[in-house]
Structure 1
């Protein structure tokens, strides 16, 4: 393992393009298959005096975390051990990337601090990874993400706005005002992320913006999902322009088309009645930032839409399948 890591460090010294860095990451992913041994080598290398070695160690530890969930906490501990003294921007960039792959909440204070770093590449990586390590109850992480949405670098703004809009369920006037502000950004990608983030919170100020996005020539699944969140009949003709077998378009049509939505809701109600007749703890619910309905029985859940599609819309058959799952 030491030889493989040394070869990766040598390759890292020669990296000059994103393509070459991508090949290096693929090699490290392969090396990370060794699990505990890769973790040991990576953790030891974080203490090296050479920043190229430390950066490569963080890349390896991130790959370990990505492949081995049981090792994520140990990988995060090894990366976070660098935090008190590390100042090299390239290493900080790799640290943030690795911590995002661990999903470890202990990384939030460091990422909040680095959200103010002078290096735009470091802030870019923080914008990309902060949503993966914070939760919606973390006020400091949210404040940092909101600040990054107003960064002077367009790439940072785009990723922060995407993360805020699509990877968190944070809501409220402050969040919505910032997403609305993003819809007037000088960059079209930031504007689109602002519109889609607003739509995901079912804010109907986004309706004309989403309608415009659905008519752009570039295919983007997030535009169709945004339409589904809004659930507006006026978007149906725009969604019908997409191929009927595209799942995201079909899901959005089910939310926007009053006839299809009514059929789904009637199926859900009949399914609820069939299951509630002889058991307790049955519930139906939807969430603001997700489309569709969920059926819950105790701590078990099913997608109502999946049950509808799998049974051809027969609530009695769906009830039998749920019962079979519960008794299996």
Structure 2
């Protein structure tokens, strides 16, 4: 038996044995156990999971077991699974399509107009709301999903009858700095007593001053909600300018204190978070800027001292 097909431990050997059971529920249980182990697993474990599960995809007739099989492929995030996922995207069982929609964003290379993006576009119009929700999430968060067809699909879902789908569409368009989503975003912030986390995330990423009145009202009603406070700060030009000034002072202080460190400020795409990235010969480091400044009492020099203490001087 090759290393690729040998189960890494007794638990996975037991899970693998269930895959040959006659009862579909037992096979589903085996796949679920594999998926739970594969998601945080090492590369070797992921490779084993794909080698074990992929050949079974074409002969697994039962819906629950097949959807659990797809969960393993999504957890493994292995390119070899993509053809199977694309084939199953049109499966008659909604649970299988849901598993495919959840898996596709994590399987395949980031290529514009890729097959996985086209599959997610089709699934974003699925009859089942959970499938649409998962597909719109994928379209909204995939870095390569930038074409006009994706934007049109997200706009199409803004008034979806399912609230979760509409929230995902709003966030996807906010991620792309599409200001045309502002009226729908404001409507969502005003409509619900407790704003959905996705809506607040969309507001923070979009960062437009037009959102300040509704966010200020929410902050007054819920002063303890840090998500509302973060969105309010991201949309306030004065606070953003202050944040930028603190960030640059931190960089300047760190350069004086530790000229041996290569530090830079960075934004992740589709995020309102500003990060401080530090390169060090022993081990690189990354800090969320707002959290670092809070730890230092919003003192840039104090924040630089915290970073200094985390990295031993180089010889």
2:230 maps to which residue?
A: 251
SS at match of 1:83: helix
CA drift of 1:40 comes to 0.4
2:209 maps to which residue?
A: 233
1:198-217 equivalences under 5 Å are 198-215=173-190, 216-217=192-193
1:39 aligns with 2:9: no
2:29 maps to which residue?
A: 56
Which one of 182, 188, 199 corresponds to residue 157 of structure 2?
A: 182
SS at match of 1:283: strand
5+ long unaligned stretches in structure 1:
1-34
The structure carrying a bigger helix percent of its residues is 1
1:84 aligns with 2:58: yes
Greater CA drift, 286-295 or 238-247: 238-247
CA drift of 1:167 comes to 6.5
1:24 maps to which residue?
A: none
CA distance in structure 2 between the partners assigned to 1:272 and 1:41 by the alignment: 53
1:112 maps to which residue?
A: 86
SS at match of 2:86: helix
Relative to 1, partners in 2 of residues 1:134 and 1:245: Cα closer, same or farther, differing over 3 Å?
Answer: farther
Greater CA drift, 47-56 or 200-209: 47-56
User: Given the two structures, how large is their TM-score scaled by the length of structure 1?
Assistant: 0.80
> Are the counterparts in 2 of residues 185 and 191 from structure 1 also a CA contact under 8 Å?
yes
1:170-319 equivalences under 5 Å are 170-215=145-190, 216-240=192-216, 241-242=218-219, 243-277=222-256, 278-279=259-260, 281-298=262-279, 299-319=284-304
CA distance in structure 2 between the partners assigned to 1:121 and 1:191 by the alignment: 21
> Are the counterparts in 1 of residues 251 and 263 from structure 2 also a CA contact under 8 Å?
yes
1:23 maps to which residue?
A: none
CA drift of 1:251 comes to 1.7
5+ long unaligned stretches in structure 2:
1-7
User: Given the two structures, how large is their TM-score scaled by the length of structure 2?
Assistant: 0.84
CA distance in structure 1 between the partners assigned to 2:36 and 2:106 by the alignment: 15
2:309 maps to which residue?
A: 324
> Are the counterparts in 2 of residues 62 and 98 from structure 1 also a CA contact under 8 Å?
yes
CA distance in structure 1 between the partners assigned to 2:311 and 2:63 by the alignment: 52
RMSD: 2.5
SS at match of 2:61: coil
Aligned length: 295
> Are the counterparts in 2 of residues 196 and 206 from structure 1 also a CA contact under 8 Å?
no
CA distance in structure 2 between the partners assigned to 1:325 and 1:126 by the alignment: 42
Relative to 1, partners in 2 of residues 1:134 and 1:212: Cα closer, same or farther, differing over 3 Å?
Answer: farther
> Are the counterparts in 2 of residues 274 and 319 from structure 1 also a CA contact under 8 Å?
yes
Q: Provide, for residues 240-272 of structure 1, a one-character-per-residue CA deviation record: whole Å limited to 9, x for no partner.
A: 314233222122122111222111110011112
CA distance in structure 1 between the partners assigned to 2:148 and 2:274 by the alignment: 26
CA drift of 1:111 comes to 1.3
CA drift of 1:168 comes to 5.7
CA distance in structure 2 between the partners assigned to 1:91 and 1:195 by the alignment: 33
